[in-house]
Structure 1
Amino acid sequence: MAAKGTLNAAQEANEQAKRDSIEQTRPYVYAEIVGSLAGSPSWDLRITNMGNSAARGLTLEYDAWPETLDDIASKTKEMFETPRTLPPRASIRVYWRLEANGRFEDGTTEAGLPRHGTITASYTSDDPSRPTYTDSFDVLIDVSGYMPVPEDGYTADRLPDGPIKTFYNLG
């Protein structure tokens, strides 16, 4: 009897060690909306793998696509639908929403995705025996408080016309 109890305890300990190892080495992908590198009042989407292994077959879904897709929304949708590998400790950052204090050249005042919705990330790890992980993240721009924005800094206006200014504006 004691031997059987010891065997069962050892098997349970091995199973727990296996589960712990999977949890410690798996990818952990999250998505967040952050203040845009383009400046206020625009927004970027940052997708990060904080895990210790690559997130493979990473795809994203969004539950609030606009009826008509502008350039930003269509490129974001294409990115969401294209499976990719995101290495450990790596991230992807793309425009989510651009807002013009005045107006864009086409007369609109905003481009990109809505201020509310849910992003769902699905991915697997390096080990094919592990499950597909699925996590959801809320987009709550209007109820996220104020984000700090620098009042000054380097701008393209200070650069001379030429390839460096063009490169800066692209970045």
Structure 2
Amino acid sequence: MREPTFTDQVSAWSELTGTVFSFLVLLIALATWRTARQALRASRDANIQTKRDSIEQTRPYVYAEVVPSLAGSPNWDVRVVNVGKSAALDLRLDYSDWPERPDDIAQSVRTFFTTARTLAPGSSIRAMWRLESGPDSQFDDGTVAAGLGKNGRITVAYRSSDLEAPHYSDDFHVMVEDSGLWPIPEAGPSGHRLSGDKLAFYRLGQSIARAIGEQRR
């Protein structure tokens, strides 16, 4: 076997250098590809989060609550409000504890709940929920309450015009007796020293003051 010549040595070193260089280029390419993939994934995740944030910021958001009635104590109204930034489309509601034999008030609420409607942003709908006869009294039919219950669950379902998140559904509990003492707008002094037209005008002012106070709930 002959001794390698200088040319053979140079050729061998060149091949080794080429192999090492190719290997380094491969490593650099692999690292670049991994970096690019991570950057692409981060960019995609950022775009998804941005889209989600945009949806959350512009979506409709409807809630329902049972509050003291504009008709005065001890009656109750149901209030449905859209506090979102866009219209709630095909809005429908349901109640968990419908009575077997609904009276006029319960039937009117059921019609209200099952009729699809559009609720614009910042707007609300209010309807009578429950009437109570008050202490030591009753209605003509002998009952002391009409309408729906003091407990239960109201389900709100609607859709958005945004195709990325078209449908929403939320549950809200009716907790008339589990929400502490409900504040009622002050009507002012009784006006017992007044009479005639002055007393009638004073009571009209009391009614207006109470109504304004209730509307701010």
TM range (shorter): 0.7 to 0.9
Distance 1:139 1:12 in 2: 39
Amino acid at match of 2:38: G
Aligned partner letter, 2:105: I
Q: Flag the structure with higher helix content.
A: 2
Counterpart in 1 of 2:59? Answer: 26
Hey, what's the Cα distance between the residues in 1 that align with 2:183 and 2:96? 28
Q: Distance between the aligned counterparts of 2:202 and 2:138, measured in 1?
A: 19
Structure 1 pair 129–12 and aligned structure 2 pair: CA distance change class (3 A): closer
Out of 122-131 and 26-35, give the one that drifted further. 122-131
Distance in 1 of aligned mates of 2:183 and 2:160: 35
Q: Which residue in 1 is equivalent to 2:176?
A: 141
Q: CA deviation at 1:4?
A: 2.0
Shift of 1:156: 10
> What letter corresponds to residue 140 of structure 1 in structure 2?
M
Change (3 A) 1:143 1:9: same
Q: Which moved more, 1:142-151 or 1:11-20?
A: 142-151
For the aligned residue pairs, the C-alpha RMSD in angstroms reads: 2.1
Question: Structure 1 or 2: larger strand share?
Answer: 1
Higher relative CO (Cα under 8 Å, sequence separation at least 6) belongs to 1
Q: Mapping of 1:41-52 within 5 angstroms?
A: 41-52=74-85
Q: TM-score, normalised by structure 2?
A: 0.68
Distance in 2 between residues matched to 1:88 and 1:158, nearest whole Å: 33
Identity percentage over the alignment?
52
Q: Structure 1 unaligned segments of length 5 or more: list them.
A: 160-171
2:154 is matched with which residue?
A: 119
**Does 2:39 correspond to 1:17?**
no
Q: TM-score, normalised by structure 1?
A: 0.85
Give 2:61's aligned amino acid.
Y
Greater radius of gyration (CA): 2
**Which residue pairs with 1:167 in the alignment?**
none
Structure 2 alignment gaps of length 5 or more? 1-33, 189-199, 206-217
1:22-101 → structure 2 map (5 Å cutoff): 22-101=55-134
Distance 1:13 1:150 in 2: 48
